[in-house]
Amino acid sequence: MFQLGKTLVSEEIIENDFVCNLSACKGACCVDGDAGAPLEEKETEILVDIYAKVKPFLRPEGIKAIEAQGAFIKGEDGEWETPLVNKSECAYVIFSEGGIAKCGLEEAYEKGVTKWKKPVSCHLYPIRVKEYSQLTAVNYHKWQLCDPACQLGESLQVPIYKFVKEGLIRKFGKKWYKELEQAAKDHLTST
C-alpha cells in the first residue's frame, strides 16, 4: 500500500492488468453475487431523482423490484446498494440481444436522457473503495468471474488503474490521478 493524500492505495491496481471481456463473461458481475452495487449517500438521491427518466430503459423485472424495494436499499452490511431481482441481478440490469448484461442507468446516460452515468462503484470496478474515518482505502477486488478480463488486460498490457482511469478521476479528481500515475511509474521502476 502507498498513500496519496487521504487515500491508501493497493499496489495491486498497478501490478495487475484488467480489461473487461464482455464476450467472455457476459457482464456476470452485474448478475451474480448476493448484494447490489455499492452506493454513495449522494447517489441514493440521484437514483430517486432520475428513476422516472431511467424507467423506460429497464426490464419489467427490474421495475417491479425497484417499485417494491425502492430505488436503493440498505444492505446486510448497513451500506447503501442497488436493489436486486430475485436476490441475484441488479435491478438496473438490462440485456443486449446477445445476452450480455448491461446497465440501464448507463444506457439512459448514453442516450442523453440523464447526466449521471452509473454508480461510481460500478465505474471503478474491479477497484473497491472503502471509506474510513481518516483515510479511504483503494483496493483491487479479485473475482474468479473476471479471469477473462485479467487475461485480456494482460495480453493488452493495460493495468487496472489505467482501465478505470475515468472512474478514478470521477471519484478522486485529475490531480489525484496524476499523482497515482507518478506513483505507478515510481513503483514499477523500483521493482
Determine the pLDDT at residue 25: 83
Sequence spans of domains, the chain: 1-18+126-191, 25-123
**Digit-coded pLDDT (tens) for 137-165:** 999 999 888 898 999 999 999 999 999 99
Mean pLDDT in the chain?
A: 92
Rounded Cα distance, 90 and 69, in Å: 12
Rounded Cα distance, 76 and 90, in Å: 15
Position 134 confidence tier, pLDDT thresholds 50, 70, 90:
very high
108 Cβ contact list (under 8 Å, min separation 6): 50, 53, 54, 57, 114
Rounded Cα distance, 64 and 8, in Å: 39
Rounded to two decimals, what is the model's pTM?
0.88
Return the C-alpha cell found at 51: 428513476
Position 191 confidence tier, pLDDT thresholds 50, 70, 90:
low
Q: What is the DSSP string of 89-137?
A: EETTEEE-TT--EEEHHHHHHHTTS-S--S-HHHHHTTEEEEE-SS-EE
Q: Is the pLDDT of residue 188 over 90?
A: no
**Digit-coded pLDDT (tens) for 76-103:** 888 999 999 988 899 999 998 888 999 9
Give the residue from 82, 97, 107, 108 showing the smallest Cα distance to 30: 82
Using the 8-state DSSP alphabet, how is residue 191 labeled?
-
